[in-house]
Chains A and B, each alone.
Chain A
Amino acid sequence: MKEIPLSLCERSSVIENLKSQIRLDGRQFMETRSIEVNFGKDYGCCTVSLGETRVLAQITCEVVEPRPSRPNEGKISIYVHLSPMAAPHFEMGKGGEIIDEIQQILDRNIKESRCLDVESLCIMAEESVWQFKVDVTVLNHGGNLGDACNLAAVAALRHFHRPDVTVEEDGRVTIHTHEEKELIPTFLKKIPVCLTFALFEVEDDCITLIDPTETEER
């Protein structure tokens, strides 16, 4: 389905209201929407609602061989999916610019900031490390996907517990189920927080809004 374009009167009404210091949903310029975080039954499952925007994040882990260039570091891979339920013009599997943008934001916030110590994910150097797979699915696009996805991914990472592992003397690695040994929580050194601003150029004046809705984004 094609994207419904923003009509001229909607566009001009948003800009005119901003000139009179009003936002369409009644918020102040620097006021964010209410945030609700819900955790699922399984560890690592989290749903975030930022106003009308809803995002689901799920973390899974498996033991893999490390990268040859970094033999004692674990891996984190982040995947963003835009569900067709998020907006009528989204299609499953097809990304576009939005997915690239969100993926970049999450990569920078989580991987490059090193908030999760990847060396703690190492089981045996050069042989086996944990790989964390973060799957973020956008359920409803109500604006400000970057913030919501970031919040969901970080909350899910903090909620996630990984299975305990023992290394035998002969080099075999045994993964224990949660019945055998307690699961180990993920330790985050720092918590990346993302804030999105929308900048409007109105008659030589620059208006800044925090946490834009979908209409304001367009």
Chain B
Amino acid sequence: MAQHKGELNFLSRSDGSALYSIDDTVILASVHGPSDVKVSNRKHDGLHLDVCFSPRTGSSNIGEKTIEAIITHTIKQCLLAHLHPRAGVTLTIQEMQSGGLDLSVSINASCLALLDAGIQMSTTFAAVTCCLTSDDVCIVEPSEIELKESKAVLTYVFDGTKMDVITTHQEGAFDCKQLLKCLAKCKTVAKDV
């Protein structure tokens, strides 16, 4: 398995922050909240979650918005939103170094940052990325070169208590059997994460 490293409470002004890295991909996640939110975003029965992913070069495009949407979807399922009505949580993710595994590192960093901030969650979650090479070999946590040469990249997010799949994200062409094979492999790795 690749080298995983994490550091909590990296930033002083944030309520919770985490610096997470898998090999060459380094991502910093920071959480502010629960605190007041604009009237337009206020929800009477729960927490409003705002996710912002910023790449190193500054301009935010569709790729970044996709990552934001996936992370929002994942966190909404794990956060106990009803405990903080009319409040908002802002999660900011900054790409420090890119090694290709941005999505899974962001998700892992977000989980640690939320824990550091002390926001109530029903479960923790872990993300694992794997890629399928042209000879149908499934490599978990590939390096940048392996990612470029692969024909499909799959990311799975598992919850911490029941090891169920919360979110999946796939790019590339593959069939059902390969999907299940990768899923099984990722599950075993996620237990370590």
Q: For this complex, into which size category does the number of interface residues on chain B fall? A: 20 to 34
**Is the beta-carbon distance between A87 and B94 smaller than 8 angstroms?**
no
User: Which chain B residues numbered 84 to 105 have a C-beta less than 8 Å away from chain A?
Assistant: 88, 90, 92, 94, 96-99
Tell me the nearest residue of chain B to A141, going by C-beta: B13
- Given A88-B13, A139-B28, verify A40-B97 contact (CB < 8 Å): yes
Q: Could you say which of A41-49, A103-111, A112-120, A173-181 contacts chain B?
A: A41-49
Q: Which residues of B contact A218 (CB under 8 A)?
A: none
Q: Which residues of B contact A2 (CB under 8 A)?
A: 36
Within residues 66 to 110 of chain A, which ones have a CB less than 8 A from any CB in chain B?
79, 81, 83-88, 92
With contacts A40-B26, A41-B24, A133-B57 known, what are 11 further pairs, Cβ within 8 A?
A1-B37, A1-B90, A45-B97, A52-B13, A56-B94, A79-B58, A83-B54, A85-B32, A88-B32, A88-B35, A137-B56
CB-based contact A85/B94 at 8 Å: yes
Taking a contact as CB atoms closer than 8 A, the residue among B12, B13, B32, B96 that contacts A40 in the complex is B96
B17 contact from A47, A85, A87, Cβ within 8 A: A85
Q: Are A84 and B52 neighbours in the complex by a CB distance under 8 Å?
A: yes
A211 sits at the interface (CB 8 A): no
Q: Which interface class (under 10, 10 to 19, 20 to 34, 35 or more) fits A?
A: 20 to 34
With a CB–CB cut-off of 8 A, which chain A residues contact B32? 1, 84-85, 88
Interface residues of A (CB under 8 A from B): 1-2, 40-42, 45, 47, 52, 54, 56, 58, 60, 79, 81, 83-88, 92, 133, 135, 137, 139-142
Decide if B90 touches A139 in the complex (CB within 8 Å): no
Tell me the bound Cα distance from A47 to B99 in angstroms: 17
B residues 114-165 near A (Cβ < 8 Å) are none
Instruction: Check A135 against B57 for contact (C-beta < 8 Å).
Output: yes
Q: Are A42 and B97 in contact (CB under 8 A)?
A: yes
Interface positions, chain B 4-29, Cβ under 8 Å from A, are 11-14, 17, 24, 26, 28
